């Protein structure tokens, strides 16, 4: 972990294994926010490249995103898979967007894990059954679309009197905006969630968020 007294300098680029999806974009946004050098390796998940043995060595769950940092703990290389683990790793290493204060960090973790457990998997299912499923399954559409709207309601209440999800702008916001960015595909009317809409626009005003979202488009 870095010390806030001596900012860590990244000398060699981080290797990013990526496809332009909500989970992938969380990491491209974070790398852009940190202004780090990185090389992007596009893993075409529509053509099963995520199952290549070389990729499985760094991402055993055969999913993007993953990173390899040549300058990991102790100086040697480290690979990290799972988007929240990557956000936490980078946040801790560079001491940015992940507060050191324990109480504040708990809040960031709450909303980060909320995203990983709900505002991600459920929105993904809604998107799948609304747009991709080969057969129309009304039960599944109703179940996941209802859950997606409930989750947007949760985040909307949370943002009622706040600019960001957990104190200052943090990896919790970065994780959630990756998914909120696909609200149209989830058939969510953002006008019904006005606090989310303002928060989303606030995040889109950040050049790094724009660049991260645009990677691979």
Ligand X SMILES: N[C@@H](CCC(=O)N[C@@H](CS)C(=O)NCC(=O)O)C(=O)O
Cβ contact 27:41 at 8 Å: no
What pairs with residue 39 in β-bridges?
15
**Interaction between residue 28 and ligand X (CB under 6 A):** no
Task: State the Cα–Cα distance between residues 40 and 20, nearest whole angstrom.
Answer: 11
Pick the piece of the chain touching ligand X (CB under 6 A) from 3-11, 19-27, 164-172, 191-199. Answer: 19-27
Residues 6+ apart with CB under 8 A from 76: none
**Interaction between residue 23 and ligand X (CB under 6 A):** yes
* Of residues 83 and 125, the one with the C-beta less far from ligand X: 83
What is the closest distance, in whole angstroms, from the C-beta atom of residue 194 to ligand X in the complex?
27
* Of residues 8 and 20, the one with the C-beta less far from ligand X: 20
Place of tokens 């005003």: 205
Task: State the Cα–Cα distance between residues 59 and 112, nearest whole angstrom.
Answer: 20
Of 92, 115, 109, 122, the C-alpha closest to 30 is 92
Looking at 16, 17, 18, 21, which residue binds ligand X (CB under 6 A)?
21
**Interaction between residue 83 and ligand X (CB under 6 A):** yes
What is the closest distance, in whole angstroms, from the C-beta atom of residue 85 to ligand X in the complex?
8
Site for ligand X in 142-171 (CB under 6 A): none
Token output for 184: 């149209």
The site for ligand X (CB under 6 A) is made up of 21-23, 45, 50, 62-65, 82-83
């Amino acid at each position: 972990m870095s010390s806030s007294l001596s900012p860590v300098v990244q000398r060699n680029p981080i290797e990013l294994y990526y496809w332009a999806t909500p989970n992938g974009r969380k990491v491209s946004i974070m790398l852009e926010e940190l202004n780090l050098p990185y090389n992007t390796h596009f893993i075409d998940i529509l053509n099963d490249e995520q199952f290549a043995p070389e990729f499985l060595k760094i991402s055993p769950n055969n999913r993007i995103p993953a990173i390899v940092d040549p300058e990991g703990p102790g100086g040697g290389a480290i690979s990290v898979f799972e988007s929240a683990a990557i956000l936490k790793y980078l946040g801790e290493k560079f001491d940015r967007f992940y507060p050191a204060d324990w109480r504040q960090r708990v809040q960031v973790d709450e909303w980060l894990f909320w995203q990983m457990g709900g505002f991600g998997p459920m929105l993904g299912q809604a998107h799948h059954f609304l747009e991709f499923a080969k057969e129309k399954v009304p039960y599944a559409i109703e179940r996941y679309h209802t859950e997606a709207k409930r989750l947007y309601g949760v985040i909307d209440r949370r943002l009622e009197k706040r600019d960001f999800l957990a104190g200052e702008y943090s990896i919790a916001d970065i994780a959630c905006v990756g998914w909120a960015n696909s609200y149209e595909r989830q058939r969510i009317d953002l006008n019904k969630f006005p606090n989310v809409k303002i928060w989303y626009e606030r995040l889109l005003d950040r050049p790094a968020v724009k660049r991260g979202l645009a990677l691979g488009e």
